[in-house]
Structure 1
């Protein structure tokens, strides 16, 4: 039985057709992307707030919170990747003007969030025996367990937010995503301050207070987003909770078919940088500190092409849904130009004012910081070089997701990060003797390989049969 097809009206920002020029596409992409970029930066600020306030408690608490977060993040990031498949599917449904498919995809995305949370939370709650098997410090393990026992319950709202955010992104609701995310940052900082330290009559809960703040912030953001989707006129018509219990196994499987490779791709990249941190740990404390500074600078810059990549998924997905090869071409290359253009600016900044940037993290007046600052400035030079390829690979990966092409990019990413990047990092760092600089050059080589193959794949999308009819 075929789906009922209904015309879904769009706004000016999203109504660019194949006959529109590059200027119109640029405007539409920018209008969609800029709130997403700022929202990504704000999302990054959520974690930064936790780190700063736990640091005020002391290094032991910060170390325990870092251990717990390191354990949690691969599961959370993998789940976000899977549920993130809702974005291209909703965009394609909008391009095909199929309103019923939009509702069903979002509903099954929420189902996927429930299932993933139910599977992951029991694993997270076993942190103590897992850390014991890994030989972690017993005292730090106890503190990390205090955090995880509460923080694990953020899984469902955090993953459900991704499903609703995908709907808002596909239908021009990115400004509301920004507003809700900024509200979450403010709320998280306030609750952290009250519960970690016990101010204004609240109990002093330390690590547990930070975990409670994380869970409550995700619940708040999910509640605000769901309320907006259910009450705002443009989204109310989708009735995303209508017959919520009714399964749509075809779309449920489609989310996992497209989303699982996305999750594994993200995990492969996160794993590469985690492995690089462990390699730095073999070199010394100054190298680890310098690596953390350079990586924080690079990750903040990365939020911009990441936001543009999310916009590329929506724009390419819409064009794909309406069977518009020219729209796919324009939307993909426009996002690519914006992403690499921004990263060219950060490249110049890292190369020219790197020492000034790293001095924001460590006081240059303290003599003990001199070596770490010099190393960080050197690492930032290499980070500046890989800014271009980092921006290119993330936009290309997201553009391919708009075509529901995720399996082959996953394999290429794993190959690039683990068969190219990590071996080069080890060889240059330890065999050749370039130490931290060699490790960072390995990271750059892995990102460059992935960027080249993914951009090439998007360029050859027609020859590779990626534009087959939906």
Structure 2
């Protein structure tokens, strides 16, 4: 097939690179997005599996594991955001038919992943003094440190996976991403069963076992994805590992120029939830466990608009690369409509099925779980209410990334989450003594403000000069 007309995917689908009508755009976005959506759900299922199995160890283990992953997550998602700049850059290069740039972008993406992981790991290993300074429970802190000491090593394969996923997504090869991610979920579940609980003669490592399983799973996924890119006929021509140590400083700087604001944007949001977890830690173990359950459930729903947002980055980026304002408009609003439709459904589910959802994590028949179960069900009601704004803000942010517009959205996100959301959470939670409910209302307020300003920015993209020719 003519490479200037369409991008044939390795997974068997095709993504048009030419202007389309609304119906064709809907089909193209859906074709690209559905494997990404399921892959994002599967990716979250990795951590959901950990949360569920930590819950089987008891509320204390669940609380300690939650504190550990809450500490790790801001570093991980910041790195993912930075390295994720590979996706819009490759999409724009494809739209502009600049094929030679693709291999260079991918290689420098690997450089960025290695550097970021090397810088982050020593900081993460300081979890004990940091948590002690923040007044966290000493026993929970000690157990969280056990998890972190092992889990940090997943940063190397985890960030490198993002480079390969970005490359594959920009080519529409999303089904292989889905297949590998689902394989990772299964591998992680088996690893947890063996390593956490000491089955088949292995020692019961508990939280360390969960961390070790996560590390092994990420290395397996990276190996599978790299093998695919190196061996499949559509990607092996890029020779992403040949002359790996040869620098391409303009591409390297471009990844950090575009990616750093993305990373800080995501960090601002995840940091808000990290701060919320730490505030919950001041309220008690039951509040932390309930927060973990509600947050994990909300995160599962969030993966659908996130997958649609990644598709929006690719579709908008391709249209931007070929200089097609109408294609940009259709790509952005199509993804937005799909995201809002799903989040309306998830809102209804959270409002009506809160307690059955919570029972998947903690057994309500056990008396000592009763308070945590009741709190989690209440938090889920609030999480249901902010599903709509959460979906709106993530799709809008990703559509803007397709235009390489990342700096101003970063400022808007930081303001939304830390100037609007966190102060409201603290005042309602502690000053007015609404406790966990107040903290979750603050989270909703920050997300709502972000949704309003980011959607408005995409709507005003022409007036704001965001459609200037790609340099």
Q: Which position in structure 1 is the counterpart of 2:45?
A: 45
Provide, for residues 241-285 of structure 1, a one-character-per-residue CA deviation record: whole Å limited to 9, x for no partner. Answer: 222111110110111111111111111111212223344445556
Please report the TM-score for the alignment, with normalisation by the length of structure 1.
0.91
Alignment of 1:5-154 (within 5 A): 7=4, 9-11=6-8, 13-18=14-19, 20-134=20-134, 136=136, 139-154=139-154
Looking at structure 1, the residues matched to 233 and 99 of structure 2 have their Cα atoms a distance apart, in angstroms, of 14
- C-alpha distance in structure 1 between counterparts of 2:205 and 2:361, whole Å: 28
Cα distance change, pair 101–360 in 1 and its aligned pair in 2 (3 A)? same
Q: Which stretches in structure 1 are left out of the alignment for 5+ residues?
A: 1-5
Measured in 1, the distance between the counterparts of 2:127 and 2:371 equals: 36
Per-residue deviation, residues 421-463 of structure 1 (Å, max 9, x unmatched): 1222233344455444433322222111110110010011111
**Match status 1:178 vs 2:178:** yes
- 185-194 or 348-357, which deviates more: 348-357
Distance 2:68 2:441 in 1: 29
1:382 matched to which residue of 2?
Answer: 382
1:315 counterpart = 2:312: no
Shift of 1:64: 4.0
What is the Cα deviation at residue 235 of structure 1? Answer: 1.1
CA distance in 1, matches of 2:341, 2:135: 45
**Unpaired segments of 5 or more residues in structure 2?**
none
Separation in 2 of the partners of 1:428 and 1:35? 40
Instruction: Tell me, in whole angstroms, the C-alpha distance in 1 between the residues paired with 2:183 and 2:356.
Output: 31
In terms of mean alpha carbon deviation, does 339-348 or 426-435 score higher? 426-435
| Deviation larger for 133-142 or 401-410 | 133-142
Instruction: Tell me, yes or no, if the aligned pair for 1:76 and 1:155 is still in contact at 8 Å.
Output: yes
Tell me the equivalent position of 1:458: 458
| Aligned equivalents of 1:378, 1:132: Cα separation in 2 | 30
Residue 37 of structure 2 aligns to a residue whose secondary structure is: helix
1:237 partner SS:
helix
**C-alpha separation between the residues in 2 aligned to 1:131 and 1:435?**
21
- Is the 1:91–1:314 contact (alpha carbons within 8 Å) kept by the matching residues of 2? yes
For the residues of structure 1 that align with 2:129 and 2:368, how far apart are their CA atoms? 38
CA distance in 2 between partners of 1:291 and 1:197 (Å): 24
Q: Partners of 1:432 and 1:131 in 2: how far apart? A: 26
More displaced stretch, 418-427 vs 110-119: 418-427
Distance 2:137 2:370 in 1: 30
Shift of 1:386: 1.4
**Aligned in 2, Cα 1:68/1:374: closer, same or farther, shift over 3 Å?**
closer
SS at match of 2:235: helix
- Give 1:354-393 correspondences, 5 Å limit: 354-363=354-363, 373-393=373-393
What is the distance in 2 between the residues matched to 1:144 and 1:283?
Answer: 18
The corresponding residue for 1:272 is 272
Seen in structure 2, the aligned counterparts of structure 1 residues 347 and 71 have a Cα distance that, compared at 3 Å, is closer
CA-CA distance at 1:368 after TM superposition = 6.4
Aligned-pair distance for 1:129? Answer: 4.2
**For residues 271 and 127 of structure 1, do their structure 2 counterparts lie closer, same or farther at Cα, with a shift above 3 Å needed?**
closer
Report the counterpart of residue 411 of structure 2 in structure 1.
Answer: 411
Asked if 1 retains the 8 angstrom alpha-carbon contact of 2:55 and 2:362, the reply is: no
Q: Return the offset for 1:374.
A: 4.9
**How big is the shift at 1:298?**
1.8
1:6-42 CA-to-partner distances (Å, cap 9, x unmatched) read 8585136311522x21111001111111111111111
- Cα displacement string for residues 388-428 of structure 1 (whole angstroms, at most 9, x for unaligned residues): 11100000000001111111001001101111112222333
Q: Deviations over 1:153-194 (max 9, x none)?
A: 211111000000000001111100010011111112222222
Paired residues for 1:230-309 under 5 Å: 230-283=230-283, 287-309=287-309
Note closer, same or farther for the CA distance 1:357–1:204 as it changes in structure 2 (3 Å cut): closer
Counterpart of 1:3?
none
Q: How far apart in 1 are the matches of 2:326 and 2:399?
A: 14
Equivalent residue pairs, number: 464
Of 201-210 and 448-457, more deviation after overlay is shown by: 201-210
TM-score (norm: length of structure 2): 0.91
Q: Equivalents in 2 of 1:25, 1:448: separation in Å?
A: 28
Q: Is the 1:7–1:99 contact (alpha carbons within 8 Å) kept by the matching residues of 2?
A: no
User: What secondary structure, in the 3-state scheme, does the structure 1 residue paired with 2:242 have?
Assistant: coil
In structure 1, how many angstroms separate the alpha carbons of the residues matched to 2:329 and 2:314?
Answer: 13
CA RMSD of aligned residues (A): 2.5
